[in-house]
Structure 1
Amino acid sequence: MKTVAISILGTTMDRRGKGEKRWDKWRPTISMCQHDDLLIERLELLFDNHSQSLANQVTEDIARVSPETQVMHHRVNFNDPWDFETVYSNLLDFARGYDFKPDREKYLTHITTGTHVAQICLYLLTEAGYLPGQLLQTAPARRNSNQPGEYQIIDLDLSKYDQIASRFQKEHQEGTIYLKGGIETNNAAFNKMIAQLEQVSIRSSAPILLTGPTGAGKSQLAQRVYALRKQRGKLDGRLVAVNCATLRGENAMSALFGHKKGAFTGAAANRPGLLMEANNGLLFLDEVGELGLDEQAMLLRAIEDKRFMPFGSDREVRSDFQLIAGTNRDLSQQSRAGLFREDLLARIDLWTYQLPSLKERIEDLEPNIDFELETFSGKSGYLVKFNKAAREQYLAFCRSPDALWTANFRDLNASITRMGTLADGGRITVAVVEEEICRLRQKWQSAPGTELNPSALIERLLGHDSTKQMDYYEQLNLANLIEVCRSCHSMAEAGRKLFNISRERKKSSNDSHRVKQLLEKHGVRFEDIKATL
């Protein structure tokens, strides 16, 4: 691995006179490159606009004593080099913008030069992982020594510095907001989960399991975890995402682990596979419960040993990747049924996060609507907004029992997209909202497995407060009565269904009247029931 040093130019200690006399005194940046047992192959030299000539001189001198060292110049201007906030901010910007490659390069942060404030900031950034690597401290040689100086490499033990963790609260908050897509959410449980996930994303490379219903945002969250880790220098590979439901048979083995040419009919060339493509990066396996047992066994070994055998090969390959798995299934239940390996489940559920549905996070509805509007406006190139009445009507429907949100945030995204497309002049009107509400009702009524529970049915007609005053037994009876009425064109037809036996024993029967009496007992009208269709 290459050794790369990051150092601030010492405007005092590196400036030791002109001509050859400058070699008579110890200069820390030059000395750093003069040790036989420490080869600095690249030096990232930081200085401000006023120090270019000194930086050029130091670069020339390093070329004389260490021709193998490549010196790269970086302009970092401190308006006040003794102001902690300014110095820290500028150095943090440098760290975030630098392309670290920790799998191929070893980094040393030189903390001898610069102001004491700068040295402290470099220490903190290294301790926090923004500057990955170790600290390098240099000093003049001892008296009567012919050495160019002394140096010490300091390996930080992060567990000893819990007291300074508060210094990074701002970065923690920024990371948390980023994982939420910039949406200021209000659901306490969700916010607590995301706050912990931000910590895990930065501090751990262990597998993460994201569970939750379809459309809850598992894929988007996995992408943000990847981006956050890359931003903090925790990985430099790519994000590789695949829906395991699309992988079947030989294709699954080949897609995940690769294959050798000729491994099976149609294998005309070598294929690296998704695990190899994710080397030094992140692999997101959505719907991991759809994988076959053979693929699960190979995946387990790849997670534990970072090694696996491509299909048709007799030689193992290595890939160092982090895994995020997603599923809307109960993997524990699948494991008990023999459909998912118990040992694999134990390996991937170290960090498990259950993403709630939209209905479980209904207090986050408004900020998500605003986010979807902003996203649509950015893509369409024009600003889209609700007028006041339209927004109130849409929010009232979205929070009502009628709004099932079967596809969760995907439903919301599609709804905003439709209304934004139909909004003349970028204004979503009441008419546009009413059309969208009808469309959503029709969609959810025709979807399988979306039958309303008794309380939801009755709340449509009587409201929340009245429904809560009823026994569950009463709710069941009234809900069944409502369902029959909804399926019939008239009260007479409903009566014939409801009283199919007793009406035969009567000489004359007024089926409509009997239905009307039952409904009026609860303050419900047949016309109101039909209006809810």
Structure 2
Amino acid sequence: MSRPLTVIGFLGSTLDAAKFGPSRWQKWRPSVGICMHEDLRVDRFVLLHGERHGRLAEQVVEDIRTVSPETTVEQRTLGFTNPWDFEEVYGKLLDFARAFPFEPEREDYLIHITTGTHVIQICLFLLTEARFLPGRLLQTQPARGEGLNPAGEWSSIDLDLSRYDSIATRFAAAAAEGSSFLKSGIETRNAAFNRMVDEIERVALRSRAPLLLMGPTGAGKSHLARRVYELKRLKHQVAGPFVEVNCATLRGEGAMSALFGHRKGAFTGAVSDRPGLLRAADTGMLFLDEIGELGLDEQAMILRAIEDKRFLPVGSDKEVASDFQLIAGTNRDLGAAVAKGAFRDDLYARLNLWTFTLPGLSARREDIEPNLDYELDRHAQRDGQRVTFNKEARARYLAFATGPEAPWPGNFRDLGASVTRMATLAPSARIDQDTVEQEITRLRRLWAPAATDDGLAALLTPDALDTLDPFERVQLAEVVRVCRACRSLSEAGRLLFSASRTRRTSSNDADRLRKYLQRFGLEWAVLAGA
């Protein structure tokens, strides 16, 4: 036996209206027509209507009883001050939904969305999609073709899109396209990075809240911020420009003027009004790179601009408005900066809702190969010449680039510069092994100065460093370097103990390395994260 069916719908003040008399049966009236179908048995009809339409509601109720005596009709009056006010309509319908005694385990529900104002129809759709109304949508329309049919036609929609294979496939493809867009179409292989980009794509399209991109210089923060802007513009979520600001280049009064603008005569040299970068980003997106370099006064004004969309230009007593979306970037630990008093805790709290840390290139070595192809494509677009590797040269370069010998301190900037040099020097637009060997030699020389700083000062306290002999310091620095270049503790152990492990009957390189690090109070997770 089928379960009872309840229809919930609004009285149509126009579509359901008709002169009283036999002629009303010559017209399609949606609420009455629902109950005239042989293939749709309605056990209960909850008829919603406004206070001014009580008489029409009584007529419709009486006609429903005439055509479908088995249908119980319940009238519910919902008084709207303005049925076109989205906030009021949604609020009152939500209150109705929460108070209604739904029993989805016992009966089925159809939510009629043909009648009522467009605002009412949209709100019913949203509440059904959110499962506040636990049913399917019901659509009705006049019968097609010739001949009188006051019942019209009906169809139902289940908003569980997973049941519609073609729609689900298109949604999945669209989601993958958005993620690929942020990655510039690069088929990256690092699982953690791919998950992060998928989350950024969802947040960017569903929220206007600020994004905070953290990571070392050259990790791609600026590039990703621009791609987020281009994605939102493609989806018609921003209309204005993308304005990028390197906060590290802003100092003193000039920082205030550059960001917030100034009035003519505000200070010496202010010979004309200046709108400022925040106003330039109105209706668009503002990317504040290296936001940790801003002074505390600028931070306070940025916070006000984020929250109120208003701020004071330098030398002005009148506020201006700018409605922009913000992405901030930094290679600093802002939490540590807050603890030192160098960064405002209220601004950090505002930025820290959506924080994403971009890993450096040395932590994404499996992504070097697809990014290598991307850089070659960029070179072709920029210089108008397609350059390729021969097989042996490509294998040699990737072996070096993905190995522990390549620290990539400049991250993707280093990689882009390296590819540009090889593409420029390649004979006959073909990068051969000689070109690769020359580039490897050049990279080793460029990176050599960085090797003089062993990086231990960032890991150990001054007292701990003082206890190290020069020999121990060199050894520990090499261990740290190898750990940071490897994907796992076991891989680092195998590389460090490759000779001695052949002379042991049993080996646990990871445990041996872990114990060595513990002597200095270091943990693998800390080094890998760095």
TM-score tier by shorter-chain length is: 0.5 to 0.7
> Does residue 1:334 correspond to 2:331, yes or no?
no
Could you say what secondary structure the match of 1:155 adopts?
helix
Task: Determine the structure 2 residue equivalent to 1:175.
Answer: 178
> Does residue 1:218 correspond to 2:211, yes or no?
no
CA drift of 1:158 comes to 4.6
Task: Return the letter of the residue paired with 2:257.
Answer: S
Task: Determine the structure 1 residue equivalent to 2:143.
Answer: none
Are 1:138 and 1:151, in contact at CA under 8 Å, matched by a contact in 2?
A: no
Task: Return the letter of the residue paired with 1:297.
Answer: A
> Does residue 1:266 correspond to 2:269, yes or no?
yes
CA drift of 1:235 comes to 1.1
Q: Distance in 2 between matches of 1:428 and 1:187?
A: 27
Task: Determine the structure 2 residue equivalent to 1:152.
Answer: 118
> Does residue 1:164 correspond to 2:161, yes or no?
yes
Change (3 A) 1:168 1:299: same
Q: Distance in 2 between matches of 1:330 and 1:321?
A: 25
Q: Distance in 1 between matches of 2:435 and 2:516?
A: 34
Change (3 A) 1:323 1:407: same
Render the CA deviation track for 1:136-191: whole Å, top value 9, x for unaligned: x999xxxxxxxxxx963443565743633845222111110000111001111100
Q: Distance in 2 between matches of 1:222 and 1:171?
A: 20
Could you say what secondary structure the match of 1:352 adopts?
strand
Render the CA deviation track for 1:187-241: whole Å, top value 9, x for unaligned: 1110000001111111101000000001000000000000000110111011110
Could you say what secondary structure the match of 1:310 adopts?
coil
> Does residue 1:350 correspond to 2:353, yes or no?
yes
Are 1:215 and 1:407, in contact at CA under 8 Å, matched by a contact in 2?
A: yes
Could you say what secondary structure the match of 2:223 adopts?
helix
CA drift of 1:375 comes to 1.2
Are 1:454 and 1:475, in contact at CA under 8 Å, matched by a contact in 2?
A: no
Task: Determine the structure 1 residue equivalent to 2:369.
Answer: 366
Q: Distance in 2 between matches of 1:323 and 1:418?
A: 35
Task: Return the letter of the residue paired with 1:164.
Answer: L
CA drift of 1:401 comes to 1.7
> Does residue 1:307 correspond to 2:310, yes or no?
yes
> Does residue 1:410 correspond to 2:413, yes or no?
yes
> Does residue 1:454 correspond to 2:420, yes or no?
no
Task: Return the letter of the residue paired with 1:376.
Answer: H
Render the CA deviation track for 1:457-486: whole Å, top value 9, x for unaligned: 7999x955606847559999xxxxxxxxxx
Are 1:404 and 1:450, in contact at CA under 8 Å, matched by a contact in 2?
A: no
Could you say what secondary structure the match of 1:178 adopts?
helix
Could you say what secondary structure the match of 1:270 adopts?
coil
Task: Return the letter of the residue paired with 2:333.
Answer: D
Give the TM-score, by structure 1 length.
Answer: 0.58
CA drift of 1:432 comes to 0.4
Task: Determine the structure 1 residue equivalent to 2:237.
Answer: 234
Q: Distance in 2 between matches of 1:472 and 1:138?
A: 69
Task: Determine the structure 2 residue equivalent to 1:248.
Answer: 251
Task: Return the letter of the residue paired with 1:152.
Answer: H
Render the CA deviation track for 1:393-450: whole Å, top value 9, x for unaligned: 1111112221010000000000000000001111101100000000000111123665
Task: Return the letter of the residue paired with 2:359.
Answer: P
Task: Determine the structure 2 residue equivalent to 1:504.
Answer: none
Task: Determine the structure 2 residue equivalent to 1:466.
Answer: 498
Q: Distance in 2 between matches of 1:437 and 1:411?
A: 12
Task: Determine the structure 2 residue equivalent to 1:63.
Answer: none
Change (3 A) 1:379 1:339: same
5+ residue gaps in structure 1? Answer: 1-136, 140-149, 477-533
CA drift of 1:381 comes to 1.6
* The one of 186, 193, 196 aligned to 2:196: 193
Could you say what secondary structure the match of 2:355 adopts?
strand
Task: Return the letter of the residue paired with 1:288.
Answer: I
Q: Distance in 2 between matches of 1:286 and 1:467?
A: 46
Q: Distance in 2 between matches of 1:247 and 1:374?
A: 34
Q: Distance in 2 between matches of 1:201 and 1:383?
A: 34
Q: Distance in 1 between matches of 2:228 and 2:126?
A: 22
Could you say what secondary structure the match of 2:407 adopts?
coil
Q: Distance in 2 between matches of 1:289 and 1:449?
A: 27
Q: Distance in 2 between matches of 1:474 and 1:234?
A: 53
Are 1:444 and 1:450, in contact at CA under 8 Å, matched by a contact in 2?
A: no
Are 1:138 and 1:152, in contact at CA under 8 Å, matched by a contact in 2?
A: no
Q: Distance in 2 between matches of 1:449 and 1:247?
A: 30
> Does residue 1:290 correspond to 2:307, yes or no?
no
5+ residue gaps in structure 2? Answer: 1-112, 131-159, 163-167, 455-473, 484-490, 502-508, 518-530
CA drift of 1:454 comes to 2.1
CA drift of 1:342 comes to 0.2
Give the total of aligned pairs: 333
CA drift of 1:373 comes to 1.1
Change (3 A) 1:257 1:363: same
Are 1:308 and 1:317, in contact at CA under 8 Å, matched by a contact in 2?
A: yes
Q: Distance in 2 between matches of 1:468 and 1:329?
A: 40
Worse-matched range after superposition: 354-363 or 164-173: 164-173
Change (3 A) 1:209 1:397: same
Task: Return the letter of the residue paired with 2:415.
Answer: L
> Does residue 1:419 correspond to 2:422, yes or no?
yes
Are 2:375 and 2:416, in contact at CA under 8 Å, matched by a contact in 1?
A: yes
Change (3 A) 1:473 1:302: closer
Render the CA deviation track for 1:372-404: whole Å, top value 9, x for unaligned: 111112222222111111111111111222101
Could you say what secondary structure the match of 1:347 adopts?
helix
Could you say what secondary structure the match of 2:421 adopts?
helix
Change (3 A) 1:334 1:457: closer
Q: Distance in 1 between matches of 2:171 and 2:513?
A: 52
**Percent identity, aligned pairs only?**
54
Render the CA deviation track for 1:48-82: whole Å, top value 9, x for unaligned: xxxxxxxxxxxxxxxxxxxxxxxxxxxxxxxxxxx
Could you say what secondary structure the match of 2:498 adopts?
helix
Task: Determine the structure 1 residue equivalent to 2:29.
Answer: none
Task: Return the letter of the residue paired with 2:122.
Answer: D
Q: Distance in 2 between matches of 1:259 and 1:449?
A: 45
* The one of 423, 442, 447 aligned to 1:444: 447
Render the CA deviation track for 1:232-265: whole Å, top value 9, x for unaligned: 0111011110100010001100111111111101
